Structure 1
Amino acid sequence: MAETLIKVDLNQSPYANENIHNRWHPDVPMTCWVNPGDDFILETYDWTGGFIKNDDSADDIRDIDLSIVHFLSGPVGVKGAEPGDLLVVDLLDIGARPESMWGFNGFFSKQNGGGFLTDHFPLAQKSIWDFNGMFTKSRHIPGVEFAGLIHPGLIGCLPDQKMLDLWNEREIDFIATEPNRVPPLANAPFAPTAHMGKLTGPARDKAAAEGARTVPPR
């Protein structure tokens, strides 16, 4: 059986787990190393780090600090890989933890980041979906059941410093064209909620101040 290289405790804050990070930066230390062709298991938090709860209130959707997301497991180093190499990662399986067989979807409040359809759905809303094998249904949307596939979330490579600087310059300039837009055009570095994995001390503080946010696509 494949070895579990990263484990998470869903009752523990992701900030207490040094194998988790929520910023892209070349100085974030590798949590572990694998050989090309290895099979392995990585446990993860959901993208909010467990902030959204399995209950009937959308207050958590309304109140979440969106500067914390996404929480990512890793980084995982690949032995022998060099900058510029093509890295192929096959996701052989993905699923929920046995003790947490549920997921959620929601609309974020227009007063807190908004969403893609925030003008049509300005208020925070949430539905909880319980998993039963390949099927899912929600107590919040009675009469609906379907076969679903779990969103694989984010996977990516740490940028080098040159690429990170380019990202930050481009995105900060883009934000300046419409700084009050909801949802925002991009997300600039934000140190107060940065989790830099195993990085500590002044190096951690420097990386947190310039680390690219893991929420926008690039």
Structure 2
Amino acid sequence: MCQHCNYTIHAAQHHFGWDNANAPVERVAPGSTIAFECKDASAGQLGPDSVLADLIAMDPGKANPVTGPIFVDGAEPGDILKVTLEQFTPSGFGWTANIPGFGLLADQFKDPALHIWDYDAAGMTPALFGPAARVPLKPFAGTLGNAPAEMGQHSIIPPRRVGGNMDIRDLTAGVEIYLPVEVAGALFSIGDTHAAQGDGEVCGTAIESPMDVVLTLDLIKQTPLTMPRFTTPGPVTRHLDQKGYEVTTGIGPDLMLGARDAVSGMIDLLCATHALSAVDAYMLCSVCGDLRISEVVDAPNWVVSFYFPRAVFD
């Protein structure tokens, strides 16, 4: 899979919860380049031929598997694990779903829905959504992180100060991300790979897609870090920018309510202008639209904006 990699970690070597008692699947020296086979967020419960009944039957206890953990020699609390994301090799299959009880507008979208994607894994041309929408692709890892200091098993779903399920769509090839180390060896894992996602992942899923990831792990000794940070190698929205955006807003004293209003406004706009069903518009917003905080200083009201790329329909 990777000619210059020091190790390959296979998809079978995965786990479903952060736990500093998990036995490492490999022990590596700082500077090692490693290939990871990452499963999709359903852990393979959904595939290219899946239908809505398969989504309904999914075991939620098998959500968001991560491959690992990796013990990095010399890593100890107070260090930083530097992760350089080298390469993503997508599979060509993906799925997006509305899962009841999950997502920004879960109270409005109570019924399950599923869209299966078949995209060009080699050319990475925009993926078709229905007869008219074409979503630009940008592979990244939704979940990567170290084991937390707290004992016991912790859910993969919420992000943590050591990383985890951050769903930052800009964690793509070329990015360097810095993670706090809280336990000996760091115990790094990665998974939840996506072919595309908008900032916010508003329906709760992106284009969930299994893929292989190559990365390099390095140590920065005794440089305390309280939260993850990262550096991008260049622009982050170039794949979406070329035709401009439609933008809706939410304005008021509550940022979360503002986010909901902005997304609801975009769903209404897409339904009116492109004859989409509401749930299809919601899922499309999740894979390619961006939530942005536009203003937080003009009390008592703040502004949240939702940017939808016009290129998807042009």
- Give the shorter-chain TM-score range: 0.5 to 0.7
Higher RCO by CA contacts (8 Å cutoff, separation 6 or greater): 1
Q: Deviations over 1:80-136 (max 9, x none)?
A: 111120111011111324xxx111111012xxx432211222111111222212224
Q: Which residue of 1 aligns with 2:22?
A: 28
Q: Which residue of 1 aligns with 2:102?
A: 114
Count of equivalent residues: 155
Query: Which amino acid in the other structure matches residue 83 of structure 2?
Result: V
The Cα of 1:39 is off from its aligned counterpart by 1.4
Q: Which residue of 1 aligns with 2:94?
A: 103
The Cα of 1:6 is off from its aligned counterpart by 1.0
Q: Which residue of 1 aligns with 2:10?
A: 7
Coordinate RMSD, CA, aligned: 1.9
Q: Which residue of 2 aligns with 1:66?
A: 60
Extract unaligned runs of 5+ from structure 2.
161-314
Q: 2:73 aligns with which of 60, 79, 82?
A: 79
Measured in 1, the distance between the counterparts of 2:30 and 2:46 equals 36
From the two aligned structures, give the one with the greater strand fraction.
Answer: 2
The Cα of 1:49 is off from its aligned counterpart by 0.6
Give yes or no for contact 1:4–1:40 (8 Å, CA) kept in 2.
yes
Does residue 91 (structure 1) correspond to residue 33 (structure 2)? The answer is no
Extract unaligned runs of 5+ from structure 1.
9-16, 165-209
Choose 1 or 2 for highest CA Rg. 2
Measured in 2, the distance between the counterparts of 1:127 and 1:88 equals 35
Matched-pair identity in %: 27
Q: TM-score, normalised by structure 1?
A: 0.65
Query: Which amino acid in the other structure matches residue 70 of structure 1?
Result: N
Give yes or no for contact 2:29–2:72 (8 Å, CA) kept in 1.
yes
Q: 1:42 aligns with which of 27, 30, 36?
A: 36
Q: TM-score, normalised by structure 2?
A: 0.46
Seen in structure 2, the aligned counterparts of structure 1 residues 153 and 68 have a Cα distance that, compared at 3 Å, is same
Q: What secondary structure, in the 3-state scheme, does the structure 2 residue paired with 1:89 have?
A: strand
Q: Which residue of 2 aligns with 1:134?
A: 124
Q: What secondary structure, in the 3-state scheme, does the structure 2 residue paired with 1:128 have?
A: strand
